Amino acid sequence: MDTKTTKFIKKCQRKQKRAQHRLVRDLNIEYSKEPTQYLAICNAGLVTGLQREVLEQFIEKIIPNFHVIMPPGKSYCFIDFLSVDCSKEFYDKVHGNLKIPKYNIHFYLLYIKGVNYLEDKIENILPPGSKLWIDFITPEQESMLIESIDWEEQDGNTDSELKHRTVKHFGYKFQYDNNLVDINYPTIPIPKKYEFLQKLFEQHGYGYFVYDQITVNKYLPGQGIPSHIDTHSVFEDPILSLSLGSPYIMDFKYGDKKIELDLPVRSLLVLSGEARYAWSHGICPRHNDTIKTSNGFSTRPRGTRISFTFRKIRKDNCTCIFNHSCDNKSISKITKINNSIAAKLEKSYVHKVYEEISDHFNETRYKQWPNVTKFIENIETGSFLLDVGCGNGKYLFGHSNIFKIGCDYSRGLAQICQNRGFQIVLADSLKLPYKSNLLDVVLCIAVIHHFTTSERRKQAISEIVRVLRLGGHALIYVWAKEQNKNYVKSKYLKCSTKSKKDRKISEEVHFDTTKIKMILPIHENRTEFTHSDMLVPWKHKNGEKVLRFYHVFEEGELEHLCSFFPSIRINDVYYDQGNWCVVLEKL
């Protein structure tokens, strides 16, 4: 066998091995050594943008009768053939060999024991308090509204700061740096040609206010808006949003409840009550939406979406009952602090703490997380691996066929690594001291959640991307806000020794610098997270407590951060014991 063939076989086996592990973990689907009538396509699915129609046409040319099953949010999918002979014929022709037209990759296939995954029936349910009016305006009115906006015009109300979508404001300008509106500085008044909409709102029972602020958003395919709740203290209830141009899926979240809502063109979405105050909404930046068709899930390519959002500026304080998300009642989210203050916060609440706890940390954090170990075991011989924020070096241990190096900010932890004989450098993950395009694999486990601002979290990812070689892979783990997923408690919650009654009311730490006053809540360990940014106590053996800063990630947030880097592809996203995890590949 020549080396090219050996290499090819090894590549196929690696792809299959990765998929075997993924399928068991995600859906409890086992692979089969012997051919079966079921095949998994290991490296293409709804999340990689594969369209059901395209796939079906491709299979049909080889084997006429089959059924395709595409689980939403996954990078793989399944084919159910009529017999083992059919699936074997397909496997032999396609596996690592044939490319699908317009979709320039080889398919890697795997026999599986069965497909127990049933395609869920997702109804278009709405978050409580919201309403969706279909065909709220006519196609003529839609065209008029779309044509009324001149995106090229530099009139001071176009927001050039937002790289991921284009925005215009009427009435008042929304300030994205602090999520507020300055009512002393009105911008261009609302044009007369939009007045018919106010009348339409009145006819539908929303005439209580004259809406005095309009935000017009333009989304191109691949663009989106981060999940957010409109600032309570700034806008009244309800908020009205008109969708034009192209249908998009909007994602709603509240605690562990999640709703995907398909917004048809010319529809009006009304957010009121719980939907306005407690549910966050956003649009995931992608080129296709997963939608339900008569024969299962498929993808729908996105076009250009224009939305008109109508709001009424609030004059009094917000009186809602949703205290968690109300800025009139607490300050618990770090909205905008400058880099130097962010660095100071991290110095006090991350770097200093790890120096203090390094020995105790080393005694308690020795076990590798199984899914990280499995990831390392699949790495090719001769690879270079960097563990960013390697702590006591628990992933630098073992696997003599790859060269592993680590870096960490803590001297205490670096010393522990050195004593264990690992290659360690003291370095900042925001400024990695390594050559660009060098490493085959980068691990970054439980590190990025210690950065206090989204800019800094993004910078950490950008450094990982920089040092990766083309085709190199990174595995990132961050702590998840959701610790209670699909009704299964994470290990972090399971270890709780307290009953609900004993829990104290949460404390707060007031962080004061000359420029800024900030209040950060202190999290009660082994309970669910109620905030995104907080201090988490570390208990010393002597009972003394020190506080570490954490930003816990909501579902989709890590992918959103990664989506800012066009040179990477997200190969896998999963939830592992209270953490959100992504596998990235540099392209």
Partner 1 sequence: MKLLTHNMLTSKCLKGVLVGYPLKIEVQDLRICEVNCNLDFLIRVIPRIDYPVLYTAMETLGYANDLPSEKPEDYQTNEEFLKKLHHALFEIEIINGNLLCPETGRKFPINDGIPNMLLNEDET
Q: Residue 295 or residue 340: which is nearer to partner 1 going by CB?
A: 340
The residue range among 40-48, 270-278, 421-429, 475-483 that interacts with partner 1, by the rule CB under 8 A, is: 421-429
CA 70 – CA 67 distance, rounded (Å): 10
User: What part of residues 307-346 is at the interface with partner 1 (CB under 8 A)?
Assistant: 340, 343
CB 106 within 8 A of CB 97: yes
Q: Residue 285 or residue 472: which is nearer to partner 1 going by CB?
A: 472
Min dist CB 386 to partner 1, Å, is: 8
Which of 474, 383, 375 lies closest to 22 in space, CA to CA?
375
**Region of residue 283 (left: phi > 0; alpha: psi -120 to 50; beta: else):** beta
Contacting residues for 57 by C-beta, under 8 A, at least 6 apart: none
Min dist CB 443 to partner 1, Å, is: 16
Q: Residue 432 or residue 552: which is nearer to partner 1 going by CB?
A: 432
Q: Residue 283 or residue 427: which is nearer to partner 1 going by CB?
A: 427
Asked whether position 459 contacts partner 1 by CB under 8 A, the answer is: no
CB 534 within 8 A of CB 550: yes
Tell me phi and psi for residue 493, to 5 degrees: -80, -35
User: What part of residues 351-410 is at the interface with partner 1 (CB under 8 A)?
Assistant: 381-382, 384, 400-403, 405, 407, 409
Tell me phi and psi for residue 586, to 5 degrees: -85, 130
Which of 422, 417, 419, 418 lies closest to 399 in space, CA to CA?
422
Asked whether position 549 contacts partner 1 by CB under 8 A, the answer is: no
CA 500 – CA 572 distance, rounded (Å): 36
User: Judging by DSSP bridges, how do beta strands 439-445 and 384-388 pair with one another?
Assistant: parallel
**Structural tokens at position 70:** 């595409």
Q: How many residues bind partner 1 (CB under 8 A)?
A: 29
Identity (one letter) of the amino acid at 306?
I
Asked whether position 4 contacts partner 1 by CB under 8 A, the answer is: no
Per CB under 8 A, the list member of 89, 212, 251, 428 interacting with partner 1 is: 428
Q: Residue 253 or residue 586: which is nearer to partner 1 going by CB?
A: 586
Site string for partner 1, 35-74 (x = CB under 8 A): ----------------------------------------
Per CB under 8 A, the list member of 50, 432, 441, 443 interacting with partner 1 is: 432
Asked whether position 426 contacts partner 1 by CB under 8 A, the answer is: yes
Asked whether position 514 contacts partner 1 by CB under 8 A, the answer is: no
**Structural tokens at position 347:** 């110095």
309 burial via Cβ count (<10 Å: 0-12, 13-18, 19+): buried
Q: Which helix H or strand E contains 467, and what residues bound it?
A: helix 454-467
Min dist CB 410 to partner 1, Å, is: 10
Q: Residue 381 or residue 499: which is nearer to partner 1 going by CB?
A: 381
Per CB under 8 A, the list member of 268, 284, 390, 427 interacting with partner 1 is: 427
Per CB under 8 A, the list member of 54, 122, 291, 438 interacting with partner 1 is: 438
**Region of residue 582 (left: phi > 0; alpha: psi -120 to 50; beta: else):** beta
Q: Residue 270 or residue 337: which is nearer to partner 1 going by CB?
A: 337
Asked whether position 349 contacts partner 1 by CB under 8 A, the answer is: no
The residue range among 371-379, 433-441, 477-485, 498-506 that interacts with partner 1, by the rule CB under 8 A, is: 433-441
Which of 184, 185, 206 lies closest to 197 in space, CA to CA?
206
The residue range among 98-106, 289-297, 418-426, 494-502 that interacts with partner 1, by the rule CB under 8 A, is: 418-426
Helix extents (H) in 527-576:
557-562
Asked whether position 424 contacts partner 1 by CB under 8 A, the answer is: yes
**Structural tokens at position 333:** 């989210």
Min dist CB 424 to partner 1, Å, is: 6
Q: Residue 197 or residue 350: which is nearer to partner 1 going by CB?
A: 350
List residues bridging with 268 in a β-sheet. 133, 242
Contacting residues for 392 by C-beta, under 8 A, at least 6 apart: 358, 361, 362, 365, 366, 413, 416, 417, 420
Contacting residues for 319 by C-beta, under 8 A, at least 6 apart: none
Q: Residue 88 or residue 351: which is nearer to partner 1 going by CB?
A: 351
CA 519 – CA 507 distance, rounded (Å): 10
CA 391 – CA 414 distance, rounded (Å): 7
- What sign does the dihedral 349-351-357-363 (CA atoms) show? positive
Asked whether position 471 contacts partner 1 by CB under 8 A, the answer is: no
Identity (one letter) of the amino acid at 584?
L
Asked whether position 431 contacts partner 1 by CB under 8 A, the answer is: yes
Q: Residue 125 or residue 426: which is nearer to partner 1 going by CB?
A: 426
Contacting residues for 538 by C-beta, under 8 A, at least 6 apart: 353, 357, 360, 545, 546, 547, 548
Per CB under 8 A, the list member of 415, 462, 484, 506 interacting with partner 1 is: 415
Asked whether position 425 contacts partner 1 by CB under 8 A, the answer is: yes
The residue range among 32-40, 184-192, 434-442, 448-456 that interacts with partner 1, by the rule CB under 8 A, is: 434-442
The residue range among 190-198, 423-431, 537-545, 549-557 that interacts with partner 1, by the rule CB under 8 A, is: 423-431
CA 450 – CA 533 distance, rounded (Å): 10
Asked whether position 418 contacts partner 1 by CB under 8 A, the answer is: yes
357 burial via Cβ count (<10 Å: 0-12, 13-18, 19+): buried
Per CB under 8 A, the list member of 240, 242, 250, 414 interacting with partner 1 is: 414
Q: Residue 386 or residue 534: which is nearer to partner 1 going by CB?
A: 386
Return the DSSP state at 522.
B
Q: Residue 323 or residue 436: which is nearer to partner 1 going by CB?
A: 436
Q: Residue 400 or residue 542: which is nearer to partner 1 going by CB?
A: 400
Contacting positions for partner 1 (CB under 8 A) = 340, 343, 381-382, 384, 400-403, 405, 407, 409, 411, 414-415, 418, 423-428, 431-436, 438
